[in-house]
Amino acid sequence: MEIKTDRLLIRPLGPEYLKTYNEYAMSPENARYMCFLPVEGEAESVAFLKTAEEEWAKPHPKFYEFAIIHDGEHIGGISIHMEYGKPVLGWIINRKYWGRGFAYESAKAVMEHFASDLGIRYFCAYCDTRNTASFRLMEKLGMKRAGESGGRKNRASPEEAFEYKYEIDLDHDVK
């Protein structure tokens, strides 16, 4: 599956992106508010990228991990994980490239692609309540805040945190 936008190529993430994946996945600053990052060592990245590649090869993947490519550079990742049959969006952009609209452009294109090709009309996403960049991105995508709950565990920190859930139903929410 490859998705093209004005500036980006969005394609399956796999082992060939190890070096550039590590740039953001190993960075505590880049992954401060994430549940599964930062990774603790290269072996973990290698295993994850292999799993991502294997999942892409399945007829009905349970998750889709994409690499975001700009001008031939791998600048971040965007994912869709199926949670009880519902698609959950996730994203991370290498901090060198923050603030240039790349996450928005990627997420919009992925949602449109899954809507047109797979008939998916509902998407949700979660983020730490302190992760302003992430929830503003959700709002820019037309997603609405659906709830707030405790018990979130970000990998970089031992404390429990709060998280927002955002969602969008393309048949009802006007963007």
Q: Which residues bind ligand COA (CB under 6 A)?
A: 30, 33-34, 91-93, 98-104, 127, 131-134, 136-137, 140
Q: How far is the CB of 27 from ligand COA (least distance, A)?
A: 9
Is 54 or 132 the residue whose CB approaches ligand COA more closely? Answer: 132
Is 54 or 133 the residue whose CB approaches ligand COA more closely? Answer: 133
Is 54 or 162 the residue whose CB approaches ligand COA more closely? Answer: 162
For the chain, what is the HEC assignment? CCEECCCEEEEECCHHHHHHHHHHHCCCCCCCCCCCCCCCCHHHHHHHHHHHHHHHCCCCCCEEEEEEEECCEEEEEEEEEEECCEEEEEEEECHHHCCCCHHHHHHHHHHHHHHHHHCCCEEEEEEECCCHHHHHHHHHCCCEEEEEEEEEECCCCCCEEEEEEEEEECCCCCC
Is 34 or 80 the residue whose CB approaches ligand COA more closely? Answer: 34
